[in-house]
Chain A
């Protein structure tokens, strides 16, 4: 990396020796440098090992029906994890993603089924709810300069309460649900596997967000803001505008998640958003995105979401109690964050 420096004038010989010494790499630090440059390598390895182990434990694991089931199980959390990635890249965290998704799905279903609103309008209303929730989070983070953790802890409770008030705690069930809302749950065969529309939608979102983050100025600014806010400001980046747009984009992604959720469960239920919050954070963290911001990618997050899905599915196929799934996910989070901390020590 800095080898070119070692060829200096003879008068600087002392410094060269010292630098050469510092540059000497152990095999471990070489691995660290590789992981530092390609953060998606470690989750890919974990996923590969998990798949091999679970297919040895139970031969049903690798069957196409099971693999198709895993992708569908992952589609909702995988979508929420995109929103979570955007926010964590800015060195924030969003505890309200699950609650926003549930609120949005309740609005979509309730309007369409109970209020007789045309399905496209109901869908649009759900999108507006997602954007409004994102705007509220973004407003509180940028204007009042509150830590995102506190802001979204508050809005998490607010959105849960709003959902329960709005729905009277009742689940909206499928029979009267318009076809457009459950379209995301329809499946079609791709070779031997059945893929749901929701999964395709999630994958398209990953491609779109990966492009935006990697290839546009906005994406670069998101990384810069998460990396060092003050440096970004001094470089002329409108930090608050970038943060606000990130929360809005996350809200829009969550509304798509709500749509996928309705298709997958053929219902909209006011309960159960909290698990999704933590699973989305888990997917992002396992995927190698740093909780300290500015580092990571959505492809890592997709791998992280798949790892969570594979662990949950594989452990239950192996006949282990659901408690062990939770235990395994907990261990995964701690290992992933430890690895991230270790990687960040590169040449600091």
Chain B
């Protein structure tokens, strides 16, 4: 199988923010990843596609610390890193939006944005009584949503369970974008959404890229992938079958590579 790299000229010269080299991950006798390498450059949307069982999720889990690869190396901004748990990846500025969203339905939007990273009041109220700065966090949440151009969430005091699927997704993406200083990983962000909501999320992805934050997007939806991705990493049978761009290949080509009917 020939492996071909197509890179848009403007990214080829830069140093990758996230680099994976020859990742191998096995589960008993099942080979999840069979020597996969990946580069993520500043300001690009890298889509990862592949059939079920091709190793998309395993690859993402290894990049975000949810799984530890058997062998292989990871670099963030050129520095080698070893992620043992999701927290480690977070410390390096890699934020993930999981497929099951990971929002707490009964908590409001602002609480969810700051969940696990709550900010306390200044002075004795914060240090002795450990009192939360609810007002401050709400203001910051509102600012962050405005900055991201998420107009569908006006009221940050609404419990997340009262929101539509797209709005919940927006909350999850906003949280990742607010704290992800280097990379945002989105796992199937449009899978459960309607047409209009999907478009909102895709616009959010473009906005993140335009702000310089690189995005890794895992998706089954070819039109969505070809709509927003700069480059497309195709997983097949635990390996990277090809890395293409929406300009170099058509959707039909991509599906053919994905299913093994063609090579890049």
Binding site for B on A (CB under 8 A): 1-2, 4-5, 8, 12, 15, 211, 215-218, 220-221, 223-224, 227-228, 230-232, 234-237, 294-295, 346-348
Contact = CB atoms under 8 A, between A and B. Distances in A.
B132 A294 contact: no
Contact of A231 (B102, B117, B158): B102
B101 A231 contact: yes
Given A4-B154, A215-B131, A224-B115, 9 more contacts: A8-B196, A220-B111, A223-B107, A231-B104, A234-B98, A235-B112, A236-B115, A294-B106, A295-B106
A217 B130 CA distance: 8
Contacts of B134: 215
Contact of B102 (A15, A230, A295): A230
A236 B101 CA distance: 13
Given A234-B86, A237-B116, A217 B104 contact: no
A230 B118 CA distance: 18
A1 B87 contact: no
B162 interface: yes
26 contacts: A1-B162, A5-B152, A5-B164, A12-B196, A15-B194, A215-B129, A215-B132, A215-B134, A216-B129, A217-B132, A218-B130, A220-B115, A223-B107, A227-B104, A227-B107, A228-B105, A230-B102, A231-B100, A231-B101, A232-B104, A234-B86, A234-B96, A234-B98, A236-B86, A236-B87, A347-B162
B120 interface: yes
A56 B86 CA distance: 61
Contacts of B162: 1-2, 346-347
Interface in B77-112: 86-87, 90, 96, 98, 100-107, 111-112
- What is the interface of chain B mostly: helix, strand, loop, or mixed? loop
Contact of B105 (A217, A227, A235): A227
Given A236-B116, A237-B115, A227 B106 contact: yes
B161 interface: yes
Contacts of A220: 107, 111, 115, 118, 132
A216 B118 CA distance: 9
Nearest to A293: B106
A241 to B, nearest CB: 12
A348 B98 contact: no
Interface in B110-160: 111-112, 115-118, 120, 129-132, 134, 152, 154-155, 158
Contact of B90 (A8, A227, A236): A236
Contacts of B96: 234
Contact of A347 (B90, B111, B161, B194): B161
* Candidate in B90, B104, B195 with the most chain A CB atoms within 10 angstroms: B104
Contacts of B118: 217, 220
- The 3 lowest CB-CB distance pairs between A and B, nearest first, are A236-B116, A234-B102, A217-B118
A294 B104 CA distance: 9
Nearest to A218: B130
A300 to B, nearest CB: 14
Contacts of B130: 216-218
A346 B159 CA distance: 11
* Candidate in A211, A224, A231, A236 with the most chain B CB atoms within 10 angstroms: A231
Contacts of B129: 211, 215-216
A216 B154 CA distance: 25
Nearest to B199: A12
Contacts of B106: 223, 227, 294-295
Nearest to A228: B104
A217 B102 contact: no
A211 B120 CA distance: 14
Contacts of A294: 104-106
A287 to B, nearest CB: 16
Contacts of A221: 116
A340 to B, nearest CB: 13
A8 B107 CA distance: 27
A231 B131 CA distance: 23
Contacts of B163: 2
B113 to A, nearest CB: 10
Contacts of A215: 129, 131-132, 134
B160 to A, nearest CB: 10
Contacts of A295: 106
Contacts of A235: 102, 104, 112, 115-116
Contacts of A2: 162-164
Contacts of B161: 346-348
Nearest to A11: B196
A224 B107 contact: yes
Contacts of A5: 152, 164
B14 to A, nearest CB: 30
B186 to A, nearest CB: 14
Contact of A216 (B103, B131, B152, B194): B131
Contacts of B131: 211, 215-216
Given A1-B162, A217-B130, A236 B117 contact: yes
Contacts of A348: 161
A14 to B, nearest CB: 10
